[in-house]
């Protein structure tokens, strides 16, 4: 598959009488957008706000972060199986609006939603503080169930991202990058002397509110399978989960997966990047065994020399991660795992809930238990009281002076396990 990914760089967002993109500014007709995205009785009100880098603004609880994109040539549309037909995507031409995101918030769904600070120390831990964010505040109707609440907000976010993306459909990208992965035998033959490398992409699927969707299918229902990397760039995988904010993969991260982009950078130069194996994270032991067996089988079937495995979440999924690692290693495939750590606030605890001697090449996104004090900011979009109950906070997190003391676990993207963040560590 060959995907031409065009980029238009948005430098500002403003509300206006007409929705359009002009001179790198996104203008949004507030009433028109709300009408286009809100038709669900599970949501009682929808409002929009804007948060820009450097402003004294805090967004919480953050549910999802989504980059607007539009398909301009080729099969399918953005978010296939959800907003578009279930056509296979990943080829043709797509335009991405860089420098902006749709962020969804409102009353809390679960207890593992996050914080985005646009300034101050918290902003240094989240990559989303560097974006111009169009924030959707969607409040639930009384008495709806949590999974209904999550789905309604999820769809509102996707619809908004699609609406904004389509404003760029007839614009000329400022920059275009081509990504291509050929059918397997052709791809192997193209670079026969380079090591064959694949990416094992673990998706959070551990139950209600721990969902990831592949072409609209809840990934709990899949067995590991193969995808072209460009399918993921084209919206084949989206987030629907409420796991800890620091290491969940918002939809923005799926669209901009750093492991995939880096492997493409080295493709044809240092490695031969053959593709992506997606696999789920399971609750029961038998399911973990099945999925890790299939994952290891695919690495052997592809004839890989090496594989990178990234995790989403922590605790129970650590077992899936280590199972994948050791079984892939047992197939003679060199393995690197990408994770984060829950090593306690003093950093002295065991970092992962599971371990194995074969997991000897590890990239870390940082220690999610690290404490931080966030100063009071001038404006809150959402509900500030949730910081006392979200993962990483406690009943004393919100201080009398308006500051917040909690673990960076509560900051969206702080320890992301695809490397989509700023933290890591080295062993000397």
**pLDDT tens digits for range 114-165:** 999 999 999 999 999 999 999 999 999 999 999 999 999 999 999 999 999 9
DSSP string, 83-148: TB-S---SSEEEEEEETEEEEEESS-SSS--EEEESSSGGGGG-GGGGSEEEEEEEEEPTT--HHH
Distance in angstroms (rounded) separating the CA atoms of residues 12 and 26 = 6
* Tokens 């997606």 found at: 278
Distance in angstroms (rounded) separating the CA atoms of residues 327 and 349 = 26
**CA separation, residue 162 to residues 62, 96, 166, 247, 315 (Å):** 19, 11, 6, 25, 34
In 331-386, where does DSSP find H-type helix? none
- Low-confidence residues of the chain, pLDDT below 70? 426-428
Which domain does 364 fall in, by range? 2-427
Torsion from C-alpha of 282, 284, 286, 291, nearest 10 degrees: 0
pLDDT at 428: 60
Domain tally for the chain?
1
Q: Look at the chain and count its residues.
A: 428
Active-site positions read 242
- This prediction's pTM: 0.96
Q: What angle do CA 101, 338, 226 make, to 5 degrees?
A: 80
From the list 59, 113, 58, the residue with the least C-alpha distance to 388 is 113
pLDDT at 397: 96
Dihedral sign, Cα of residue 10, residue 165, residue 49, residue 380: negative
Distance in angstroms (rounded) separating the CA atoms of residues 294 and 289 = 9
Distance in angstroms (rounded) separating the CA atoms of residues 239 and 280 = 13
Q: Per DSSP, which regions of 189-282 are E strands? A: 196-203, 210-214, 217-218, 225-227, 237-241, 272-280
Give the model confidence (pLDDT) of 20-74 as tens digits: 999 999 999 999 999 999 999 999 999 999 999 999 999 999 999 999 999 999 9
Which are the contacts of 360, defined by CB distance < 8 A and separation ≥ 6?
none
Contact call for residues 414 and 421 (beta carbons, < 8 A): yes
Distance in angstroms (rounded) separating the CA atoms of residues 284 and 281 = 10
* Other residues' Cβ atoms within 10 Å of the Cβ of residue 101: 29
Q: What angle do CA 364, 234, 66 make, to 5 degrees?
A: 65
pLDDT at 208: 81
Token digits of residue 422: 């700023």
Residue 413 carries which DSSP code? T
First to last CA, the chain: 41
Distance in angstroms (rounded) separating the CA atoms of residues 156 and 163 = 10
Burial degree of 345 (CB within 10 A; 0-12, 13-18, 19+):
exposed
Distance in angstroms (rounded) separating the CA atoms of residues 127 and 136 = 19
Contact call for residues 246 and 408 (beta carbons, < 8 A): yes
């Amino acid at each position: 598959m060959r995907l031409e990914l065009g980029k238009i760089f948005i430098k500002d967002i403003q509300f206006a009488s007409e929705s359009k993109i002009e001179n790198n500014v996104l203008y949004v007709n507030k009433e028109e957008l709300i009408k286009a995205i809100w038709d669900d009785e599970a949501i009682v009100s929808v409002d929009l706000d804007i948060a820009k880098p450097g402003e004294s603004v805090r967004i919480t609880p953050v549910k999802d972060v989504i980059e607007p994109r539009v398909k301009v040539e080729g099969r399918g549309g953005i978010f296939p199986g959800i907003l578009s037909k279930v056509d296979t995507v990943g080829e043709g031409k797509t335009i991405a609006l860089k420098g902006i995101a749709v962020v969804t918030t409102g009353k809390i769904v679960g207890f593992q939603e996050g914080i985005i600070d646009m300034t101050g120390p918290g902003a240094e831990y989240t990559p989303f503080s560097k974006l111009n964010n169009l924030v959707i505040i969607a409040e639930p109707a009384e008495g709806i169930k949590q999974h209904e609440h999550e789905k309604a907000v999820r769809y509102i976010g996707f619809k908004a991202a699609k609406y904004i993306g389509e404003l760029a459909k007839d614009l000329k990208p400022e920059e275009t990058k081509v990504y291509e992965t050929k059918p397997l035998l052709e791809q192997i033959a193209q670079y026969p002397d380079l090591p064959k490398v694949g990416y094992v992409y673990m998706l959070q699927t551990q139950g209600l509110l721990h969902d990831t969707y592949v072409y609209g299918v809840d990934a709990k229902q899949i067995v590991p399978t193969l995808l072209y990397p460009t399918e993921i760039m084209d919206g084949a995988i989206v987030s629907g989960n409420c796991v800890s904010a620091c290491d969940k993969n918002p939809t923005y991260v799926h669209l901009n997966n750093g492991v995939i982009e880096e492997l493409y950078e080295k493709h044809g130069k240092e490695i031969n990047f053959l593709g992506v194996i997606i696999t789920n994270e399971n609750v029961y032991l038998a399911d973990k065994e099945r999925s890790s067996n299939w994952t290891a089988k695919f690495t052997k079937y592809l004839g890989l020399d090496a594989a990178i495995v990234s995790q989403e979440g922590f605790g129970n999924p650590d077992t899936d991660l280590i199972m994948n690692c050791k079984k892939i290693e047992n197939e003679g495939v060199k393995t690197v795992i990408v994770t984060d750590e829950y090593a306690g606030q003093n950093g002295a605890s065991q970092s992962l809930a599971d371990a194995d001697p074969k997991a000897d090449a590890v990239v870390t996104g940082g220690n999610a238990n690290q404490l931080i004090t966030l100063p009071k900011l001038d404006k809150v979009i959402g509900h500030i009281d949730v910081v006392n109950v979200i993962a990483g906070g406690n009943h004393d997190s919100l201080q009398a002076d308006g500051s917040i003391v909690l673990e960076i676990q509560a900051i969206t993207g702080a320890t992301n396990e695809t490397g989509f963040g700023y933290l890591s560590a080295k062993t000397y």
